[in-house]
Chains A and B, each alone.
Chain A
C-alpha cells in the first residue's frame, strides 16, 4: 500500500488522489473510517515520494545528454523580462504604502514614489478609523459579515452540490448539469440591475441580505468541486461506508469532506476574494451607508473629495485603501498554495 506506482501519473496528477485511490483498492471494505485514515497516511508517504521523485525528474530534464548541461542554465534575459513584470505588478502597491504615510499636503508637494514630508501613517490610520464616527470600522465589520456568511455559505453550498453531482445519480441530473454550466457563462454583473429590481420589489434591497443572497451562488465553485470530487473521493470508500451502515450525509461530513479539503480551500479563496472585492452589487443594492462594504465606502470618500464643496480627504482614501488591501492579501498569501491544484482541476480538465 505504500508502494506508489510513479509511472502512471506525473507528480501534478497525484494531487487528485488517483494514486491513493489505487492504493485504497486493497483496503478492507468494513472499515471505511480506517481506510480514510490510512489514506491520509498514504497522502503523507505519497508527498514524500513525490517530492523525492521530483528532483531527479527535473534534473534529468536539465541535464539529459552531453550538451544539456550547457544549454539549460538560468537565463538572464528571462529573469530581466520577468523582473519588469514584477515591478509592474508591485509598483502601484509600493505607491500605496508610500502615500499612506503622507499628510494631505505632502501628497501634492512631494514625489509620489518616495517618502516625503512628515511620516503620518499612524495619524492617517487614526483618522481613518475615527472619521465620521468610525464609519470605516462599520464598513469593515459589514465586509466581514458579507465574507463570512456570503463566501462561507457559497463554499458550503457549492461543495455539497458539486459532491452530489460527482457521486450520485439522480433524476433530473442532466438538466441540473446543463443549467449550471450555462450559469457559469452568465456574467454576474449583467444580472446586477435586474436583481436589484427584483429585490426592491420584494423589499430586500438596502438590507444585508441583498448582498449576501446573490453571493451565495457560485456555479464555478460547484464545477471545481465536481471535477475535484470525481477523482479525490473513491467511490469504493463510499460503498464501504454504506456497508458499515453510515448515512450518506454522515459519510460526507466525516469522510468525504476531509478528502475534499484542498478543493474546498480553493473555492473558499475564490469566493472570499470575490466577496471582499465585490463592488457593483452592493453599490446598486445599498443606499444606507451604514450597510456599505469597504469598497463602496472608499469610493464614497473618493467621490466626496472630488465633488465641489466636499471635504477633500485624499489621505483617508489612500490609507483606507491600504487597510482594505492588507487583510485580503494576508489571507491570500497564506492560502495561495492551494490555488494551483484547484485551478489545475478547473482549468486544465476541460
Chain B
C-alpha cells in the first residue's frame, strides 16, 4: 500500500479531484507485491520524511517546549531559579505595557491588512482583466519590493520620512506645515503600515493573480453566453474563485502583523521616543530578554502571542470556510 495515490494526496487535492469530477487515478499495474516487500515498504515514507522531521523537532518543537518550561520559572534574587507555576502568565495578563503593545498590533492589523488586501485584489483583477496594456511590466514591478529585505525597506523609507534629508521634509518646506511628520506620535504606525504595504502588496497580488489564472476559461465563456456583465463576472465567478487564496493571504498577513518586529525595530533609531521598547509584543519580548535579562517572563510573552496568533489565524480560516460552504 505504499503508493496509494488517493490516500496519499493532501486533502486539498482530493477535494479538488472530487469537485472537478476527475476520475481517480487508476492503479494501472495493480499486481499485488509480495507481503515481505510490502512490510518493508510501509516504512519507506519515513526515509523521505525523517530528515525533515528531525530538524523540525530540533529547531521548532524543542524551542517551543523549552519556552513553555522557561515560562514556568523565575530568576529570584534569593534562591536562584524557582518554579513559579503560571505566575509569569498572570503577570503578563495584568501588564499594561504588554497589552498596550497588543492593542497597537491589533489596530495595525485592523487597518493595514484590509487596505493592503483590497489594493492587491484590485491589482490582481486588473492584471487578469485582459484590458491592461503591458500587464507583465506591472506584475513584475509591483512584485519587486517583495525581494527587498525588510531592513533595507525600513532603512529606505526611514530616510525618506526623516527630517534631515527626507522627501517628506522637502514637501513640508514646499507646502508649509500641514504635511504631517510621519515619524511623530500618531502617524508612526501609519508610516510603518506604509512600509509593510509596500513590501507585501505585490506578493498578495501575485497570490490572487495565480488563483485567477487557475479559473477555467470555460466559465467565462458560459457567463458571456448568459450575458453577464464585467461586474457580474467579477462578483459571481472571480471573487468566489479567489476565496481560498484570500483566506491564505489573510492568514499570512495576520501572522505578519501580530509578529511585527523588523520595521519598527529599524525605524526606532529615527524616533526612539515614539517607537518605544514595547511598541509591538515581539519588540517587548526582545527587549525583556536582551535589555532586561528577564528570560522567563519574555518566554511567557512569546507563548501568549503565539497562542493569540494561532487563534486569530484559525478564526480567519474557519470564517473563510464557513462562507465558502454557505
Contact = CB atoms under 8 A, between A and B. Distances in A.
Interface of A: 8-13, 18, 21, 25, 29, 57-58, 60-62, 64-65, 68, 71-75, 78-79, 81-83, 85-86, 88-90, 92-93, 95-96, 99, 107-108, 111-113, 157-158, 160-161, 163-173, 176, 179-180, 183, 185-198, 201, 213-214, 216-217, 219, 222-223, 226-227, 230-231, 234-236, 238-240, 242-243, 248-249, 252, 273, 276-277, 279-280, 283-284, 294-296, 298-299, 302-303, 306, 314, 317-318, 321, 324-325, 328-329, 332-333, 336, 339-341, 343-344, 346-350
B10 A227 contact: yes
B80 interface: no
A201 B295 CA distance: 12
A75 B43 contact: no
Contacts of B310: 185-186
A89 B51 contact: no
A180 B146 CA distance: 25
Given A325-B148, A340-B210, A61 B314 contact: no
9 contacts: A62-B130, A72-B130, A83-B138, A92-B157, A112-B165, A168-B2, A170-B42, A185-B309, A235-B3
Contacts of A25: 26, 28
B29 A161 contact: no
Given A164-B48, A171-B42, A10 B149 contact: no
A230 B210 CA distance: 19
A217 B55 contact: yes
Interface stretch (B92-100, B107-115, B262-270): B262-270
Nearest to B146: A273
A343 B55 contact: no
Contacts of B289: 193, 196-197, 284
A217 B255 contact: no
B98 to A, nearest CB: 14
Given A161-B52, A193-B286, A350-B244, A173 B151 contact: no
A190 B259 contact: yes
A230 B5 contact: yes
B239 interface: no
Given A160-B48, A173-B45, 17 more contacts: A74-B132, A78-B129, A85-B138, A90-B144, A92-B160, A108-B164, A161-B49, A179-B56, A185-B314, A186-B60, A193-B286, A235-B8, A248-B47, A295-B152, A325-B152, A329-B144, A333-B140
Contacts of A188: 259
Contacts of A198: 62-63, 66-67
A102 to B, nearest CB: 9
Contacts of B148: 93, 277, 325, 328-329
Given A89-B145, A348-B211, A238 B25 contact: no
B145 to A, nearest CB: 5
A243 B3 CA distance: 13
Contacts of B42: 169-171
B237 interface: no
Nearest to A163: B48
Interface string B146-181: 111111110111011000111100100000000000
A163 B211 CA distance: 23
A85 B156 contact: no
Contacts of A235: 3, 5, 8, 25, 27
A96 B47 CA distance: 48
A112 B149 contact: no
Given A198-B66, A230-B13, A350-B247, A217 B299 contact: no
Most buried by B among A216, A240, A273, A350: A350
A279 B143 CA distance: 21
